[in-house]
Amino acid sequence: MKLRDVTKKLNIIKISGNEDVAVNRICTDNRIASTGDCFVCIKGFVRDGHEFAESAVKNGASAVVVQDEKYFDELSLKYSERCFILTDDTRYALALLSDNLSEHPSGDLMLLGITGTKGKTTTSYMIKSIYDNAGVKTGLVGTMGNMIGGRLIRTERTTPEANVLQPLLREMVSENVKTCIMEASSQGLNLGRVACCEFGIGIFTNLSPDHIGENEHRDMDDYARAKAKLFKMCRKGLVNVDSPYATVMMEGARCEMFTYGIEESCDFRAVNVVLNNDSVEYDIVGKCPLTHINVPVPGRFTVYNSLAAAGACFLGGISMEKIAEGLSKVFVKGKAEIVPTGRDFTVMIDYAHNPDSFINIIGAARGFAKRVVFLFGCGGDRNRPRALMGKTAGEQADFTIITSDNPRSEDPESIVRDIEKGIIGTGKPYVCIVDRREAIEYAVKNALPGDVIILAGKGHETEQIFKDKTVHFDERIVVKEALEKFY
């Protein structure tokens, strides 16, 4: 495609060079830039992409998009044979150019976007289960990986950068995917990664203080405003009316809005709720025919997630019969996932990694546990309230094991000490075991009849990330090996 077509609708302040140059790829990494690439300079939190523009040109990039006039003037003078474009917002430019080059793939899909602090991944898999059950080929973009039909593609971000996302959506269309479910993170919305996407349905799950801090969101209001951007980009919106932030989502919406919940009157409401040891069931009423729902995942949060999935799919044209069937077959790896032990205690793996999700998963286990043993750590290089995590675990669980998660560049022992500061004041029993394998072995070895041992924080992940290495670490295998070792 010619550059002039790729930059269609872009706010071009200045341009230098040949607009008829061919563009094959939109690129933000100077190290892989080559002939036929359009390099877009993104100002990141750590480094400014403008610093690498000249390197991209030397590596062969055919065109460069900048928002810093100084770089435009210097580079266009020095490399007059290349095309340089000055615009006011290169993050938006990245999305627009990627969308144009991929020929607006979201317009050929039913695209469902899910935003919220918790529940995005589980809800997305529930929606996928429903569409799969209805015989509709689906794609998925999210935390646990991207999927085209049944094919899994690993991912580093919940919401990919636009130059990765748009070609992925085009690939889905080319493989006859009809519906795509996307986790729309606040950073993905705030940083324009999903700009130019045409969402059919947007979903809001909930909001809790999980991403407040440097390089993320100043406060909860800023966090909520980022999430609310989704409802300016979709045709229909579905909001959890029981969330105190529901009104924020709905106030600036530019779409037809619907609500779901348990406590308040709404369009899709769960009544006659029953929380079983290994499932939830309820009747859904409102704008859909009254239907009995049974989901094989425990916990009150499952009611909310499945309500969101059911409401969205109904709005998307799926029958309630197919919705109920799809929800009855749901399995989400690392989300309240029970690991078979063959013993008189239960091991559950869950991705819970903040205080609110701790309360949710411990509360779910409390319904059938004699004692809840809660094992968790905190990821390094992340804005997490470590002391509050410790305090919450101490208050909610019967026994806590503080260990490592993904320490990344930080010292694992230091992270454990930060968490410990919060649990001490609760007066509840706990132990600190920095090595996560040793911690899991301790939990299994010392399990009592009726225990529910929750391994929190890593969920679907099968690696542990340290400063100098990344190692394979699948908790299912670790539990199996511990059972063989001690029983």
CATH number at residue 444: 3.90.190.20
Do 320 and 362 fall within a single domain? no
Residue 461: per-residue pLDDT = 93
Residue 208: per-residue pLDDT = 81
pLDDT band per the 50, 70, 90 thresholds, residue 42: very high
Residue 93, domain CATH: 3.40.1390.10
Do 91 and 111 fall within a single domain? no
Do 30 and 177 fall within a single domain? no
Structural domains counted in the chain: 3
Domain finish residue from 100, 120, 155: 100
Q: Is residue 39 over pLDDT 90? A: yes
Do 170 and 281 fall within a single domain? yes
Do 20 and 124 fall within a single domain? no
- For residue 386, give its domain range: 337-486
pLDDT tens for 150-194 read: 998 888 788 899 999 999 999 999 999 999 999 999 889 989 999
Do 362 and 316 fall within a single domain? no
Q: Please tell me the distance from the alpha carbon of residue 424 to that of residue 441, in angstroms, as a whole number.
A: 23
**Above pLDDT 70, what percent of the chain?**
98
Do 299 and 373 fall within a single domain? no
Give Cβ neighbours of residue 418 (< 8 Å, ≥ 6 apart): 378, 386, 387
Q: Which of 122-131, 216-225, 249-258, 339-348 has the lowest mean pLDDT?
A: 216-225
Residue 319, domain CATH: 3.40.1190.10
pLDDT tens for 46-100 read: 899 999 999 999 999 999 999 999 999 999 999 999 999 999 999 999 999 999 9
Do 151 and 191 fall within a single domain? yes
Do 166 and 229 fall within a single domain? yes
Q: Which residue has the tokens 């979201």?
A: 106
Q: Is residue 211 over pLDDT 60? A: no
What mean pLDDT, rounded, does the chain reach? 95
Do 96 and 146 fall within a single domain? no
Domain finish residue from 293, 328, 363: 328
Domain finish residue from 46, 76, 100: 100
Q: Please tell me the distance from the alpha carbon of residue 335 to that of residue 237, in angstroms, as a whole number.
A: 25
In what helix (H) or strand (E) does residue 304 lie, and over which residues does it extend? helix 300-315
Give Cβ neighbours of residue 308 (< 8 Å, ≥ 6 apart): 114, 119, 123, 126, 203, 205, 238, 240, 260
Residue 209: per-residue pLDDT = 67
Do 46 and 174 fall within a single domain? no
Q: Is residue 215 over pLDDT 70? A: no
Q: Is residue 383 over pLDDT 60? A: yes
Spatial contact of 386 and 422, defined as CB atoms under 8 Å apart: yes
Do 84 and 116 fall within a single domain? no
